[in-house]
Structure 1
Amino acid sequence: MCGRFALYSPYPKLSQALRLPLEPEELTPRYNVAPGAWITAVRHPSDDTPLVMDEVWWGYRPHWAKDKAPEPINATIEKVATSNYFRGAFAHHRCLVPADGWYEWLPVDGRKQPHFLCRGDRKPIWLAGIWSERPDGKPGCAILTEPARGVAAEIHSRMPLALDADSLEPWIDPHLTDRETIRHVAHHLPAERITHWPVSTRVNRPGNDNASLIVPA
């Protein structure tokens, strides 16, 4: 799954990695982003509007859902294209969530040891997401997950779907709606580019948010 991540790269670094024209904006470094918060995303607000980097709520509940409908933070790649709850967003409202890495917890001797997973070259990671207008009119999103690959499988059975550079533009193309076509143009980041290390259990508390959280324990 993906339930906590960090985003501390400055805007110029993200813009360069994305290779798309976006207006600069200041981003506050965040080392402990938890669900139920506003997060940075890249998306087309509608088919005819330019690409933007703005904030979406990390919690997906489409505007047509009932009050007690679930508000998932993740959607699995196995079901996102066919589930009644997600398939509309998968076809029309895909987004990218930039991150520098994410956290997972490994059971060790009766406790859970947090690990930080990131690219070995420390470049930003682009996580595949879907978004929808929520009942309150604001955008909300879910991050896609897939079975864990490479060293990530040492920590958890699932991981966020991190896309390679050539998949970024097709993923957020609002005119690309066919399920099979999307599957063929969206490729995950090669597993060998991911590394990880144990970090302090201080990350367990969302209120802790500073660079020391990603320092190897």
Structure 2
Amino acid sequence: MCGRFAQYQSRDVYLDALGAAGSDYVHDPEPIGRYNVAPGTNVLLLSERDDKLKIDPVYWGYGPEWWDKQPLINARGETAASSRMFKPLWNHGRAVVFADGWFEWVKEEERKQPYFIYHKTHEPLFFAAIGKAPYDEPHGHEGFLIVTSASNKGMVDIHDRRPLVLKASAVREWLNGDTTPERAIEIAHNAALPESAFKWHPVSTKVNTPRHQGKELIENI
């Protein structure tokens, strides 16, 4: 699963990785600087409206009006497209979360040790997401969820679920409103980065507290 991640580089860095910087945006080299993004906060989310890429601050969590529990933060990629609750979001609310890595906790000697997981070459990551569109309008706690996939081949020792990280080359098609839900399933299956693309290391337990921010949270201890 993904319950905490980092989004600390500038918008320009993420958009450059997509080959999209400068197309529809005002140049913004200021680092976002969030090393400990937690659920229940507004997160910069990339989506498409009127055939243009848009970035909006959107609530991380999804709980429709009839939902009487805590908002959900993840949706399983294997079932989201057919789920009664998530199918409308999959069909009409596909989005992407910029990230530089995410955190998982492993039980070690009676305590949970946090790990930071990131691309081997420190490339920006693009988490597949779904949510309540359009994202430029407030919807209360009907925000977005991060799509997850099963962890295999070496990463399962960290956690059995992980964010579905799309290849940069697949992001525009994933976001495109003309992409059919069936094609989006194919993208999720065929254009996700494999476990072999990632590295991880243990980090400070300071990350356990969402108010803690700063580069020291992602440093190898």
Q: What TM-score do you get using the length of structure 1 for normalisation?
A: 0.90
| Alignment check: 8 A CA contact 1:5 1:103 kept | yes
Q: SS in structure 1 opposite 2:169?
A: helix
Q: What pairs with 1:1-217 in structure 2 (closer than 5 Å)?
A: 1-20=1-20, 21-23=23-25, 24-25=27-28, 26-44=30-48, 46=49, 48=50, 50-62=52-64, 65-66=65-66, 68=68, 71-133=71-133, 137=139, 140-179=143-182, 181-186=183-188, 187-217=191-221
Of 122-131 and 65-74, more deviation after overlay is shown by 65-74
CA distance in 2, matches of 1:150, 1:19: 31
| Alignment check: 8 A CA contact 1:152 1:196 kept | no
> For each residue in 1:186-212, what CA deviation from the matched residue of structure 2 results, as whole angstroms up to 9, or x when unmatched?
311122110000001010000110100
| Alignment check: 8 A CA contact 1:73 1:143 kept | yes
Change (3 A) 1:111 1:69: closer
Task: State the identity %.
Answer: 34
Q: SS in structure 2 opposite 1:170?
A: helix
Of 110-119 and 67-76, more deviation after overlay is shown by 67-76
| Alignment check: 8 A CA contact 1:39 1:56 kept | yes
Unaligned runs of 5+ in 2: none
Residue type of the partner of 1:119?
A: H
Change (3 A) 1:27 1:57: farther
CA distance in 1, matches of 2:146, 2:8: 18
> For each residue in 1:168-193, what CA deviation from the matched residue of structure 2 results, as whole angstroms up to 9, or x when unmatched?
111101111332x2222331112211
CA distance in 1, matches of 2:70, 2:79: 15
CA distance in 2, matches of 1:136, 1:166: 30
| TM superposition shift of 1:49 | 5.4
Of 101-110 and 170-179, more deviation after overlay is shown by 170-179
Q: SS in structure 2 opposite 1:51?
A: strand
> For each residue in 1:110-161, what CA deviation from the matched residue of structure 2 results, as whole angstroms up to 9, or x when unmatched?
1100000000101110000001059953561000011113442221110000
Q: SS in structure 2 opposite 1:89?
A: helix
Q: What TM-score do you get using the length of structure 2 for normalisation?
A: 0.89
Q: SS in structure 1 opposite 2:52?
A: coil
| Alignment check: 8 A CA contact 2:103 2:116 kept | yes
| Alignment check: 8 A CA contact 2:132 2:139 kept | no
CA distance in 2, matches of 1:43, 1:136: 15
| Alignment check: 8 A CA contact 1:105 1:113 kept | yes
| TM superposition shift of 1:27 | 4.6
Unaligned runs of 5+ in 1: none
CA distance in 2, matches of 1:27, 1:93: 27
Q: How many residues were matched structurally?
A: 212
